Structure 1
Amino acid sequence: MVSRRIYADRTEQSFESAEERRAQGKAYRKELPIEELGRYVRSDRDPVAILKKQDETRLPDLVPLRHERMSASPFTFYRGSARLMAFDLAQQPNTGQQVVACGDAHISNFGFFASPERRLVFDLNDFDEAAPGPWEWDVRRMVASVVLGAKDANYSDEDVQHLAQQTAHAYRIAIRGLSQQSALERYYQSIDEQLIVDRLDASSLPAFQKVAAKARRRTSVQAVTKMTELDENGRLQFREDAPVLTHLIDAPARDLRKLYREYLASASPDIRLLLEKYRLIDGARRVVGVGSVGTRCYVVLLQDAVGQPLVLQIKEAVTSVVTEFNKPNASTPDTLQRREHNGKRVVDHQRILQAVSDPFLGWGSAGGHDFYIRQFRDMKGSIDLSKLNARGFEEYVTGCGLLLARAHSQSPALHWIAGYLTKGAKFDKAMTRWSMAYAEQVDEDYKRFVA
């Protein structure tokens, strides 16, 4: 018998081991010392003009509400100003290594949701801005949000710095640890409710258990109870609650039905078959969040043959602020095609970054706009940071650092980043120093925005 070998193709011939990539990252510390990442580079820009650029594509009647919600505090302003920060991040020094980035990894964008197996998991939960970009952008947005969130909760300056440094520390340690695992181990790794309970300090446990219990109750059935009523003919419909929940008529209503049909075509075969057992009975515009206010967001009400409801959420997807300001290079993951459907972009990158994702994810277009679709309130829950004690806050932000590292570990740049990051706390201190400086910038921008 003649033996045969499968010879490496060109791609495999350029394949580098984890050790080689870590060595490259370590060597790059001489090109860009880690301490340099802590230097905040100011730029001459008009923060209000950068943010108002987004208003041009938003629903005019909702723009004042967007401004009102962003004006509540410097932290809420920060949450709604991802575009402004992306502009600023593009001016900062970075290592040139890019990953599939969340694009909006602030600490309020982590939370509980249900896995397809109905486990309660904790992970990143907002991917409107997800796209390939520098890994430092996500870390800086996360650590700066810790600073602003802790200031919002009236922590001392010493405690704020400690919390920021612990967040960066958690990310660094996790990246270095994940680099020692196999790709498959990293892919399957997730944090569920039990894992959180096992590592929590006793004083923090009640706050997390309360949120978990509330998340389990947040289902389509609960949403229907709160958001619907019977019309004069006894049919279920959404309850009008302007401006938060308003019905659609004429062309927008027709667009929504067209969008739903496109969504069905994009859904996985099992979900498509499942949804054939439902009929679409109502739809409405629903205002959500802070940064998303003014984008086209809807909910649709479905009902099966025995009268059981299901609510899906439809969110407009526009070009990511990461894509807008990032300059791709040879390290940029090839996950974003030119002129790609933005709804598909959100779905694809959510599936990469999350350990488990909503099986109902899909996308479609209507009225010249791209959208993505998911379940509405499927056991979703977020932590009220103001209700946490100091120990609980630290455990929470540490978890956020771990989860961001797990998300970044799905990208090829992992081993390079792990090599670049030292065993010592240089990176932790650099991120803290940068984030403290950027928090001052946010305070200034917030005052100009409110004025």
Structure 2
Amino acid sequence: MTAVEGHLRFDHDALRSAADLYQAGKDARSRVPRGVHSEYSPATDRDPVGILKRQHEHRVSELIPLRLERMTANPFAFYRGSAAIQAADLAGAPRTGADVTICGDAHVANFGIYASPERTLVFDLNDFDESAYGPWEWDLKRFLTSVVLAARQRGFDESKVRAVTREAAAAYRSALRQMTGLGVLERYYLRADVSRGRRASSSQRVIDRAVEAAARRTSARVARKIMRRAEDGAMTIVEDPPVLAHVPDAAEQNVLEIIRAYLETVPADIAVLLSQYVATDAARRVVGVGSVGTRCYIIVLTGPAGEPLVLQVKEATESVAVEFGGATAGRAPAFDDRAHRDEHGHRVVANQRVLQAVSDPFLGYVNTGGHAYYVRQFRDQNVSIETETLGFRPFADYIDACSTVLARAHAQSPAASFIAGYLGSGAAFDTAVVEWAFAYADQAHADYLTVRQAVEDGEFAGPTAADPVQA
């Protein structure tokens, strides 16, 4: 570095402007016309049953029947649990080559309300188990297909289903365009705060109900609902098998060791806070639809005044976007360092912090006993919107909010302006990707019937390689 004319000068990477990236996105239309995104051509060797069986090889075998029961409840429930199948189908789909940090499982039920560290409520993506660094198109296609299936599940007529899906695609495009008009720091600070009672409308009533539900989802309420106080004042869990069950002593000890290792991955202020708590109980908990069978525990911590704090410890396996879709990597190159390259707990936590506007301060991770885990606070005023109960207008408003949040998440990656340029200001891409979403929704429905029949025929019967009790 040398001083030239009173200024410090040094060699640095060339700055590629947002305008240059936008133009590159426009130029990419000649290489990958936007209309090709309407084409869904299933591979002749598709094997949805085989993909699910492959996933089951490393899951807790006694929970596999419960996973299949939840997945075959209805077509939308099946779609929620079949991200691996869609990832395999997307592997050969047209792509622009612009990768971003993706959610990997951006369906409509994976958005929700939760409390920020400042104790305000925010609306954002809330599931990152399948997060990766890959094609932005995959997140959008998974999201729009979920809109079709959720709207059909709600019973809306097909014209309304198509209208709300087209509106969602346009909302993503418009929001991304607006956000890339801001500086990257301005985008970073954007977040969707949730306010109660701002206006009298059906949509606001939905928000108000969600806010009321969020206020009830706290560690204190969990303690009252599923715990009892022991003679020494410690909080312990009351079992509700198979959803909530204690594990054998050896496995419980492993869980407690996980907590000790986790403390090394949290910020100093959280480590000091947690040092004032004692872990007093642990139990295995069944969560989600697609996640059923992965190892998941809740840990009860008791503070000096007897106050409870509940943490969730959840197993992190390789993202289906990487394993089945061939996405570039688990994390963006900017922080894909060697020390954490194979730690999927770190992948989930790191990608969550990229994609969310604000995240749980208790997020941490650990890799032990041959398994990776991430840790977060359990029931910190988090609640999802139940789309099954919404009328059409509140449903459409909710979907628009999800589209905007997804655009905000993608706008954190350097390729955002490229994507905005590729999408443009017209509806060419919207029209194409909506056609794809409808075609794939039909495919998902067919897969649902196939898997349901396979379950009835006993094709999933038999033990898997997973230890049912090992932590």
TM-score, scaled relative to structure 2: 0.92
Match of 1:385 among 380, 384, 387: 387
The answer to which of 250-259 and 337-346 deviates more is: 337-346
User: Residue 229 of structure 1: CA displacement?
Assistant: 1.9
Equivalent residue for 1:27? Answer: 27
Equivalent residue for 2:156? Answer: 155
Q: Does 1:190 align with 2:207?
A: no
User: Residue 350 of structure 1: CA displacement?
Assistant: 0.2
CA distance in 2, matches of 1:197, 1:87: 43
Contact 1:171 1:402 (C-alpha < 8 Å) held by counterparts: yes
User: Residue 231 of structure 1: CA displacement?
Assistant: 4.7
- The 3 A distance-change label for structure 1 pair 235 and 413 is closer
Equivalent residue for 1:261? Answer: 260
Equivalent residue for 1:316? Answer: 315
Contact 2:321 2:327 (C-alpha < 8 Å) held by counterparts: no
The answer to which of 184-193 and 363-372 deviates more is: 363-372
Contact 1:333 1:411 (C-alpha < 8 Å) held by counterparts: no
Gaps of 5+ in 1: none
Equivalent residue for 1:425? Answer: 427
CA distance in 1, matches of 2:56, 2:367: 20
State the SS of the aligned residue for 2:139: helix
Equivalent positions of 1:328-407 (< 5 A) are: 328=328, 333-337=333-337, 339-407=341-409
- The 3 A distance-change label for structure 1 pair 209 and 374 is same
Equivalent residue for 1:119? Answer: 120
State the SS of the aligned residue for 2:313: strand
Equivalent residue for 1:74? Answer: 75
Equivalent residue for 2:237? Answer: 238
Equivalent residue for 2:438? Answer: 436
Q: What residue identity is the alignment partner of 1:326?
A: G
Contact 1:132 1:335 (C-alpha < 8 Å) held by counterparts: no
State the SS of the aligned residue for 1:302: strand
User: Residue 424 of structure 1: CA displacement?
Assistant: 1.0
Contact 2:180 2:416 (C-alpha < 8 Å) held by counterparts: yes
User: Residue 212 of structure 1: CA displacement?
Assistant: 1.0
CA distance in 1, matches of 2:233, 2:274: 23
Q: What residue identity is the alignment partner of 2:429?
A: F
CA distance in 1, matches of 2:254, 2:297: 11
User: Residue 100 of structure 1: CA displacement?
Assistant: 0.3
Contact 2:367 2:373 (C-alpha < 8 Å) held by counterparts: yes
Identity rate of aligned residues, in percent?
47
Contact 2:277 2:301 (C-alpha < 8 Å) held by counterparts: yes
CA deviation map 1:294-335 (0-9, x unaligned): 000000000111111100001000011112222439x96444
Q: What residue identity is the alignment partner of 2:91?
A: A
CA distance in 2, matches of 1:337, 1:293: 30
CA distance in 1, matches of 2:384, 2:24: 39
CA distance in 1, matches of 2:369, 2:239: 23
CA deviation map 1:109-163 (0-9, x unaligned): 0000000000000000000011100000000000000000001011111111111
Contact 2:154 2:389 (C-alpha < 8 Å) held by counterparts: no
Contact 2:77 2:289 (C-alpha < 8 Å) held by counterparts: yes
CA distance in 2, matches of 1:225, 1:100: 39
CA distance in 2, matches of 1:104, 1:357: 18
Q: Does 1:217 align with 2:225?
A: no
- The 3 A distance-change label for structure 1 pair 402 and 234 is closer
CA distance in 2, matches of 1:103, 1:203: 31
CA distance in 2, matches of 1:333, 1:431: 28
The answer to which of 279-288 and 26-35 deviates more is: 26-35
State the SS of the aligned residue for 1:372: strand
User: Residue 203 of structure 1: CA displacement?
Assistant: 2.0
User: Residue 2 of structure 1: CA displacement?
Assistant: 7.2
CA distance in 2, matches of 1:51, 1:168: 29
Contact 1:35 1:426 (C-alpha < 8 Å) held by counterparts: yes
Contact 1:271 1:359 (C-alpha < 8 Å) held by counterparts: yes
TM-score, scaled relative to structure 1: 0.96
User: Residue 425 of structure 1: CA displacement?
Assistant: 1.0
- The 3 A distance-change label for structure 1 pair 315 and 327 is closer
Contact 2:135 2:327 (C-alpha < 8 Å) held by counterparts: no
Contact 1:201 1:391 (C-alpha < 8 Å) held by counterparts: no
The answer to which of 33-42 and 280-289 deviates more is: 33-42
CA distance in 2, matches of 1:134, 1:399: 22
Question: What is the total number of aligned residue pairs between the two structures?
Answer: 446
Equivalent residue for 1:143? Answer: 144
CA distance in 2, matches of 1:197, 1:29: 44
State the SS of the aligned residue for 2:88: helix
CA distance in 1, matches of 2:146, 2:158: 14
